[in-house]
Amino acid sequence: MTTKRSVSAAAQGARILGLFGMLGMLGMLGMLGGSTGCGAKGNKDEVVPPLGMNTHSQLRRYVDKAVRRSSEGVILMPSKKADPLFDRTRLNEIAQGLRVPAAVCFVNRAIETMKPGTQDGEDAYLGVPEGQIRIRTRINPAGEVLRTEVLETGFKDEAMYPCLDKAIKNVKWTTNRSGVVQFIDVIYWVSLGYQQEDHSVATKQELRRQQATAAEKARACLTNRVPAGRYVIDGLSLVDRDGRTLANRIEPGPLPDNVRECVTIVFRDIRMPRIKEAFVRPINPRAEFVVATDGTVSFADEKWLTLMRLEEEGMREAKLAELAGDDPITEIDEGESPDPGAPSDQPSVTSSRAPTRRDEPRADPATAGQKLKLGGLRAAPVTAPREVPR
């Protein structure tokens, strides 16, 4: 029996709200309608077509396009009779709100069924509860769901429909004044999407660092709890677009249940880089422990993690020194400062210019008591040159 994260739907739903950044526009398509099949006009199951779409094939292409543009979404399709009875704004809000509990259904089921494997010669995840489903929802005039039924589904996991059915019945639908039961078709689709970023070299390097850090903390879980030996731990974590763990588990192995539960809790702290367009991203953390006969616990990548931290610390100090203008790499050695008491080999240069006395500021001529020179400037007396005796 695997150990998984036990989280309430409300708490997990609050965290899954962070998954719907750019995907939010598809939830606003809930007011659009379509055809349930090839029924002709006048059929009691006829639904309202979207603007500009009059055939079932056009609707199908619209839904397929929405599925390709997003990893998950909800579309509400009211019947032709129910369309004027329901507020379009409220239907948009309901479609947006259904995405959170539906994603909770997917995450809780995926952490139980998913496992890494090979498909068509490539590494892939097997047992993913992904697919598309169309659920007809019967609603009474008070806005309560009487029953639901599956019109078509692409989910291979049969446990998805009961969870989605519960989420639909928990919605408070708008009331209508018809006095009769109306129906709205709920279309939901979900998949992991393309995980190109999680296969990059940088992501693998970060995963190695994160799982080594988690293994360092998880050593306390094994100390004085397991006998001497080598223990390899494999896990599965589902992270959101911000890299936070939504759910995780540790595969069964030689560890006791209480130790495995402890390691599972520690591995929840793994934080991966943010990917803006992602939905749910699976990762496979792995740790290897060696318990010595004296009880000490070591783990793989312990030396590697220490070297990485020393390297980062050196880079941090060099950056701080550079910002402070005291970079030891670019500092110029100007030699020792000369002793002021020692004689200098350089000739002293003295200025031949005599110091000049600063001119005193002139008094204001408008001040009373000042003597004004009105006779002009007197020329300096001319002296004849002295004769030199011969």
Give the DSSP H or E segment for 89: helix 88-113
- Does residue 122 form part of some domain? yes
- Mean pLDDT over 88-105 rounds to 91
Mean predicted confidence (pLDDT) in 77-88? 85
Per-residue confidence (pLDDT) for residue 159, from 0 to 100: 94
9 vs 344 pLDDT, higher one: 344
- What percent of the chain has a predicted confidence (pLDDT) above 70? 64
Q: How confident is the model at residue 2 (pLDDT cuts 50, 70, 90)?
A: very low
pLDDT tens track for 271-294: 999 888 788 899 999 999 999 999
| Residue 163 and residue 78 share a domain | yes
Q: What are phi and psi of 238, to 5 degrees?
A: -110, 120
Number of domains within the chain: 2
**CB atoms < 10 A from the CB of 72, how many?**
23
Residues 37 and 183 both lie in one domain? yes
As a whole number of Å, the CA-based R_g of the chain is 40
How far apart are alpha carbons 163 and 156 in whole angstroms?
14
Q: Is residue 284 part of a domain?
A: yes
Spatial CB neighbours of 177, under 8 Å, sequence gap ≥ 6: 85, 141
Tell me which of 161, 190, 219 is where a domain ends: 190
Looking at residue 301, its pLDDT comes to 92
Query: Is 378 a member of any domain?
Result: no
Question: Which residues have CB under 8 Å from 168's CB, separation 6+?
Answer: 98, 135, 137, 145, 148, 186
Give the C-alpha separation, 152 to 259, whole Å: 44
Q: In this predicted structure, what is the pLDDT of residue 42? A: 41
Residue 332's pLDDT band, with cuts at 50, 70 and 90, is low
Q: What residue type is 4 in one-letter code?
A: K
**Residue at 315 is within a domain:** no
Place of tokens 């560890």: 255
Structure-model confidence comparison of residues 193 and 364, the more confident one: 193
Please give the average per-residue pLDDT across 37-52, as a whole number.
42
| Residue 46 and residue 80 in contact, taking contact as beta carbons nearer than 8 Å | yes
Mean pLDDT, the chain, rounded, equals: 77
Q: Give the three-class secondary structure for 51.
A: coil
Structural domain for 278, as ranges: 197-306
DSSP codes, 274-336: P-TT-S-EEE--EEEEEE-TTS-EEETTHHHHHHHHHHHHHHHHHHHHHHTT--TTT-----P
Per-residue pLDDT at 62: 62
Same-domain status, 158 and 9? yes
Same domain, 162 and 229: no
For residues 29 and 144, state if they share a domain.
yes
Query: Among the three residues 273, 306, 339, which one is the final residue of a domain in this structure?
Result: 306
Same domain, 130 and 170: yes
For residue 11, pLDDT over 50 is answered with no
Residues 175 and 204 in one domain: no
Among 174, 190, 206, which residue terminates a domain? 190
| CATH code, domain carrying 251 | 3.30.1150
Residues 23 and 52 reside in one and the same domain? yes
Instruction: Provide the pLDDT for residue 40.
Output: 33
The pTM for the full model equals 0.67
Work out the pLDDT band at 4, boundaries 50, 70, 90. very low
pLDDT value for 353: 54
Residues 84 and 170 in one domain: yes
Q: Is residue 281 part of a domain?
A: yes
Q: In the prediction, which pLDDT does 387 show?
A: 56
Q: For the chain, what's the residue count? A: 390
Q: Out of 13-17, 84-88, 163-167, which region has the weakest mean confidence (pLDDT)?
A: 13-17
7-21, 160-174, 185-199, 361-375, range with greatest mean pLDDT: 160-174
292-305 pLDDT, tens digit per residue, is: 999 999 999 999 99
> What are the φ and ψ backbone dihedral angles of 368, each rounded to 5 degrees?
-65, 145
Q: Considering only residues 41 and 343, tell me which one the structure prediction assigns the higher pLDDT.
A: 343
Are 31 and 180 part of one and the same domain?
yes
pLDDT value, residue 283: 92
Give the per-residue pLDDT at 67: 62
Residue 22's CB is within 10 A of a number of other CB atoms, namely 11
- Per-residue pLDDT at 86: 84
* pLDDT at position 108: 94
Buried b (16+ CB within 10 A) or exposed e, 165-178: bebbeebebeebee
- Claim to verify: residue 235 and residue 282 sit in the same structural domain: yes
30-34, 135-139, 381-385 — which one is most confidently predicted on average? 135-139
Residue 319 located in a structural domain: no
Does residue 109 have a pLDDT over 50?
yes
Question: Is 186 found in the same domain as 69?
Answer: yes
